Chains A and B, each alone.
Chain A
Amino acid sequence: GIQVEQSPPDLILQEGANSTLRCNFSDSVNNLQWFHQNPWGQLINLFYIPSGTKQNGRLSATTVATERYSLLYISSSQTTDSGVYFCAVAGTGTASKLTFGTGTRLQVTL
């Protein structure tokens, strides 16, 4: 099956700093989504982004499907951005299933 790798695995930032999280995948995909799991365990869908660039406030994401990667940008980080960020992909031929990466754990400190 498709492999999804995220980097870095862990990241510590000071409040106000910017960061870039990366998601690489091993095969062609029909879709890619980014999720944030907060420290209380809730999983929130950030972006549904099969290709191109989207922005939502301080967060933006870019997917380059032909080169098999996606980037999540966090600008002016806040302590509420802490948690784990997951990317998930739907490989071609697996229209109803998402495969998740193992996540990037982000800690934003004061």
Chain B
Amino acid sequence: DAGITQSPRHKVTETGTPVTLRCHQTENHRYMYWYRQDPGHGLRLIHYSYGVKDTDKGEVSDGYSVSRSKTEDFLLTLESATSSQTSVYFCAISGDRVTDSPLHFGNGTRLTVT
């Protein structure tokens, strides 16, 4: 199994509060990704990183920010959580661009915004 740890695994928070999800990898992979999974929408890319301090937006980036200060850690922040951000969030890693290497997922974080 790829060494990917997401924390927390479950979180319940109130509307309007900030939330940070953490992804930690031990594979020294260059690329890291945050996806959200919702019924009827499948997996959608929020943000990704191609190196320390190098990030870019995915298809559903509004309301989210990310940071990567170390190769092994990729943080996803919801500045002011809304009910529409209730979802399961997956972190993923790849050694190179996904055209050249497989993608591996963490076990997910289930976030509920009340």
Which of B12-20, B67-75, B76-84, B101-109 is found at the contact surface with chain A?
Answer: B101-109
Q: Number of A-B pairs whose CB atoms are under 8 Å?
A: 57
Known: A42-B107, A86-B43, A100-B43. A33 touches B102 (CB 8 A): yes
Contact between B42 and A95 (Cβ–Cβ < 8 Å)? no
Q: Are B102 and A95 in contact (CB under 8 A)?
A: no
Task: Tell me the minimal C-beta distance from B80 to chain A in angstroms.
Answer: 26
The 4 closest A-B pairs by CB, nearest first: A30-B99, A43-B105, A48-B102, A100-B43
Binding site for A on B (CB under 8 A): 31, 40-45, 48, 50, 56, 58-59, 88, 90, 97-105, 107-108
Q: Interface residues, chain A, CB within 8 Å of chain B?
A: 1, 30-31, 33, 35, 41-45, 48, 50, 86, 88, 90, 95-98, 100-103
